[in-house]
Amino acid sequence: MFEATPTSVPKALRRWAPVAGLAAAALLATACGATVTHTAAKKPSGSGQVGITVKTATVKVNGTSTQVFTNSAGYTLYYFVPDSATHTVCTATLIGSTGTPCATLWPPLVAPTGQVTGPSGVSGSFSVFSGPNGREVEYNGHPLYTYSLDTGPGQSHGEGVLGKWYVATPSVTSSSAASPSPSSSSSSGGSGYSYG
């Protein structure tokens, strides 16, 4: 009879065994009707923090250097034109043509507790309202989001997606006059969504 020892089991198999175990557990939980939630650690959206800080950074938007709002990790923040100060359209239940929930492709900026601290020198105001995505952070009544296809700080791949998603800048006016920021121009984003 063969007895497995640490040296008889290939190193690659030992390394991937925990991953295979988690995958099997997720499959079993799904088969039994449980909900399995996946969270990505590479792009914090403020979850788990006491209060939240919004910063500014200069990012190339359609080839022009533009001052934009970012989350604490430096990821560009966006707003969605169909949203309002009291109604969020982009949620986990809104499914686009790709089958991906809107709030997965566009993670909302949330502040589980505390207040929002914004950068000094901006004339608009930050606030928090309880919406379908939790305590959602807004600027001038626009709920704010990151974009899952931005893989690092300084990117603005979500600008102009579907003609409804735009970078959040200090010049964004109140949501009642929801229109793109002056530096924005529509571009065709590759999200495959048909919502809004």
Q: What is the DSSP string of 48-104?
A: TSEEEE-EEEEEEETTEEEEEEE-TT-PBPEEETT-BTTB----SS-B-TTS-BHHH
Domain membership of residue 123 (yes or no) is yes
CB atoms < 10 A from the CB of 24, how many? Answer: 10
Host domain of residue 17: 9-38
- Residues 92-109: what's their mean pLDDT? 89
Is residue 117 within a helix (H) or strand (E), and if so which, with residue range?
A: strand 113-117
**Model pLDDT for residues 122-169, shown as the tens digit of each residue:** 999 999 999 999 999 999 999 999 999 999 999 999 999 999 999 999
Task: Say if CB 127 and CB 138 are below 8 A apart.
Answer: yes
Considering only CA atoms, which of 136, 72, 67, 146 is closest in space to residue 102?
Answer: 146
Domain membership of residue 2 (yes or no) is no
Residues 120 and 30 in one domain: no
Tell me how many domains the chain contains.
2
Considering only CA atoms, which of 33, 39, 48 is closest in space to residue 107?
Answer: 39
**Model pLDDT for residues 18-43, shown as the tens digit of each residue:** 433 333 333 333 333 322 222 222 33
Domain membership of residue 44 (yes or no) is no
Residues 74 and 125 in one domain: yes
Residue type, 102: C
Tokens of 184: 């924005």
Is residue 137 within a helix (H) or strand (E), and if so which, with residue range?
A: strand 134-139
Residues 18 and 83 in one domain: no
Instruction: Using CA atoms of 133, 55, 58, 79 in order, give the dihedral in degrees to the nearest 10.
Output: 20
Domain membership of residue 106 (yes or no) is yes
Q: How far apart are CA 43 and CA 83, in angstroms?
A: 22
Considering only CA atoms, which of 45, 71, 43, 44 is closest in space to residue 56?
Answer: 71
Name the band, by pLDDT with cuts 50, 70 and 90, for residue 184: very low
Its pTM stands at: 0.67
Question: Across the chain, what does the average pLDDT equal?
Answer: 74
